[in-house]
Amino acid sequence: MIRQHLRVWTGEQKLVTSSFFFWNAGRIALQKSQEGLLRSMLYQVLRRCPALISKAFPGHWFSHVSGGVNAGSSLDFLSISELLAAFERVATALESSKVKLFFLIDGLDEYEGKPDDVIHLIQLLTFSRQVKICVSSRPWNEFEKVYGQDASRKLYMESLTRQDIASYVRDTLEKDPSYQDLEEEASHALNLVQDIVNAAQGVFLWVFLVVRSLLEGLTNADRIIDLQRRLRLLPTDLNEYFKRMLFTIDKFYREQTAQMFQVTLVAREILPLMSYWFLHQNDSKLPFKLSVEPPSMQRTNVRLKQMRKRLNACCKGLLEVQFYDSSNHNDSSLSSSVLFNWKVDFLHRTVRDFLILPDMQTMLDEWAGDDFNADKVICEAILCQIKSAPQEEEYLRSDGPISNLAHTMKYHAEALKGDLDHQQDGVLLVQELDQTIRKQKEVMGLTMEELSAGLNSRLVEESQG
């Protein structure tokens, strides 16, 4: 639909689209700031229309082509006003270049500043008839006031996803034998699907969580009236739902729960499931006393099975084991996949958003314990996993999983420099890491020489025979 309208608007002119998503949970300021929006949009436009670079930054362009004093000057330190001025010059140049721009800006509610600031910025970007912008946000009052007054120019996601949600709920429940039995006995069972759709307000994650709760009830032989009561008792606000899930966790596990959440929040990269197993050994000496050799695959599988169960007990599905693989084979049964591609991540990014709220951070800090340092335990867990990895070339090459983990570990060891209590820990862990990788490469080199010698011996024997 949007593409059709855009084609009518552009006619024979070239259309350039660019997009940006404000992400409040991002660790980089550019992911949630005006500067990040402007830089990203300009980059996308100028990449598609390089002829406009000289128009956007005439001073830098002139210095570059003339080889002047500022020829090597950087665009890194441009202010918001300078970036806006560049946009204005681009928009002016568009009038004669037969190019139109379409900007898609998502997540206005995740902008780090005041809503009025980002609203004002968007107004500044629409000064040209060559520019159209589509924005999206949660229905905050500030955005409803500016963008929600004209019903013909807005869409609510719940209106578009209503039928899809109904199909998902109906199909999922009807696959359950217990629900099939209930449908035969209770004609009002179908009302349950409609009740879920009405309460969902277009939020698929909430629907997923509710259906999962209902399936648990069906496992316990819940009646239709029990399922309807379950639905009434479940909060429709996601944050309230997450909070309720947290407080259903056995108090015995709360320390482990908080530590796993904090590690997942802080980790620079999504960590393998095996790293979480080592994390839960709760032994700061283990990274130093563990020998450099892989355990049997049978023992590895037992450990991973244990950790999956522990995740379920401690996190109630808010953390999930997911398969990540950038290679083409995508085979989750390979040893490399078992060790490195099964990773732990949040059920959904909204779980991360919920856990970084100030009151939730305070609670997790209390549960985790005063001595807990996420960067330190991440370093320890990664080092243990590297020590127990198979000593084979595919793991140790520069783009292999061990190198990637080592890079992540050094990042967190660097972060320990800011903690006076753990500065020395970071130094010692990195030293142990370097010794471990050096030892693994030495072993691998020896093994490769032996294989080469054995192969040459067999070739000689075959030639003589």
Q: What is the pLDDT of residues 308-361, one digit of tens each?
A: 999 999 999 999 999 887 554 455 455 566 889 899 999 998 899 899 999 999
Helix, strand, coil percentages, rounded to 5, for the chain: 65, 5, 25
pLDDT above 60: residue 68: no
Q: Has residue 45 got a pLDDT over 70?
A: yes
Nearest to 416 by CA among 427, 405, 406: 427
Q: How does residue 256 score in pLDDT terms, banded at 50, 70 and 90?
A: very high
Kindly report which listed range (113-117, 230-234, 327-331, 396-400) carries the lowest average pLDDT score.
Answer: 327-331
pLDDT for the residue 457 = 52
Q: What's the rounded mean pLDDT across residues 221-247?
A: 92
pLDDT at 146: 92
**Among candidate residues 168, 127, 355, the one with its CA nearest the CA of residue 245:** 355
Q: Can you tell me the mean pLDDT for 22-29? A: 80
pTM over 0.85: no
Which residues does 160 contact at the CB level (< 8 Å), separation at least 6?
202
| 205 has pLDDT over 70 | yes
- What 205-209 contacts at long range (C-beta under 8 Å, 24+ apart), as own/partner pairs, is 205/238, 205/347, 205/348, 205/350, 206/236, 206/238, 206/241, 207/165, 207/168, 207/169, 209/234, 209/241, 209/245
pLDDT number for residue 43: 94
Strand 14-21 relative to strand 131-135, pairing: unpaired
φ/ψ of residue 58, rounded to 5? -60, -40
Tokens of 276: 């979480």
**150: three-class secondary structure by DSSP:** coil
Mean pLDDT of 436-455: 65
**179 and 186 Cβ atoms separated by less than 8 Å:** no
Long-range Cβ pairs for the range 211-219 (8 Å, 24+): 211/168, 211/169, 211/172, 211/173, 212/317, 214/173, 215/172, 215/173, 215/176, 218/176, 218/178, 218/179, 218/182, 219/178
**pLDDT of 126 above 60:** yes
Q: Among the listed ranges 11-15, 153-157, 181-185, 294-298, which one has the minimum average pLDDT value?
A: 181-185
Q: What is the pLDDT of residue 65?
A: 75
**Pick the residue with more confidence: 127 or 286?**
286
- Tell me which DSSP letter residue 418 carries: G
What's the token pair of residue 375? 């960067």
What's the pLDDT score for residue 75?
65
Asked if the model's pLDDT at residue 463 lies above 60, the reply is no
- Contact yes or no for 401/340 (Cβ under 8 A): yes
Cβ contact 433:386 at 8 Å: yes
Name the packing angle between helices 374-387 and 423-464 (round to 10°). 20
Backbone CA torsion sign across 138, 324, 241, 168: positive
Considering only 30-39, 73-82, 252-261, 306-315, which range has the smallest mean pLDDT?
73-82
Calculate the average pLDDT of the chain. Answer: 87
> What mean pLDDT do residues 106-133 have?
90
Tell me what pLDDT residue 455 has.
44
pLDDT at 188: 64
Q: For 170-178, what is the mean pLDDT?
A: 92
Please check the confidence at residue 451 and state whether its pLDDT lies above 50.
Answer: no
Q: How far apart are CA 103 and CA 31, in angstroms?
A: 16
| pLDDT given at position 409 | 96
Question: Residue range 369-389: average pLDDT?
Answer: 95
Higher local confidence (pLDDT), 404 or 440: 404
Residue 444 has pLDDT above 90, yes or no: no
Section 236-241 average pLDDT: 92
